[in-house]
């Protein structure tokens, strides 16, 4: 079965600190995409960062970067210089590069940035 596990239900850090959210997944497929989505209190699901499994280079988007370890099936998100606006639920997800496109989601990590 395809699964995504986020082992940290909740985390909190001080503003400006760096925080890493963990995600592991299980699949026998070789070609897939991995995502981190953010859901702030406004409820909107916002794409934070995307990684193609065939790329060895870790994706980065400004203060957000990932540590993708394909063999270990690990996909952690690092947020540098955290800001109050980063407070949100963060969901890890993946999907396969085939014709039946569905996202498989983790349960989420609640991240609180303290002033």
Partner 1 sequence: DSGVTQTPKHLITATGQRVTLRCSPRSGDLSVYWYQQSLDQGLQFLIQYYNGEERAKGNILERFSAQQFPDLHSELNLSSLELGDSALYFCASSLRGGANTGELFFGEGSRLTVL
Report the interface residues with partner 1, using CB under 8 A: 33, 35, 42-47, 50, 52, 91, 95, 97-103, 105-108
- Residue closer to partner 1 (CB basis): 16 or 46: 46
Closest approach, Cβ 52 to partner 1, in A, equals 8
Please state, in angstroms and rounded to a whole number, the distance separating the CA atoms of residues 70 and 73: 5
Cβ nearer to partner 1, comparing 35 with 75 = 35
Q: Can you tell me the distance from the alpha carbon of 115 to that of 112, in angstroms, rounded to the nearest whole number?
A: 10
- Judged by DSSP in three states, 86 sits in helix
- Of residues 85 and 101, the one with the C-beta less far from partner 1: 101
Strand partners, 90: 38, 109
- Smallest gap from residue 16 Cβ to partner 1 (A): 28
Q: Which residues contact 61 (CB under 8 A, 6 or more apart)?
A: 48, 49
Q: Please, what is the minimum distance in Å from the beta carbon of residue 36 to partner 1? A: 12
Q: Give me the least distance between CB of 65 and partner 1, in Å please.
A: 18
């Amino acid at each position: 079965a395809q699964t995504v596990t986020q082992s940290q239900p909740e985390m909190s850090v001080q503003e400006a600190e760096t925080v890493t959210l963990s995600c592991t997944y299980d699949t026998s497929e070789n070609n897939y995409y991995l995502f981190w989505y953010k859901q702030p209190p406004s409820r909107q699901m916002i794409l934070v960062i995307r990684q193609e499994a065939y790329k060895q280079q870790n994706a980065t988007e400004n203060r957000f970067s990932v540590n993708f370890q394909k063999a270990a099936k690990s996909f952690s998100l690092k947020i540098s210089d955290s800001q109050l606006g980063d407070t949100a639920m963060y969901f890890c997800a993946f999907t396969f590069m085939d014709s039946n496109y569905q996202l498989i989601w983790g349960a989420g990590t609640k991240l609180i940035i303290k002033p």
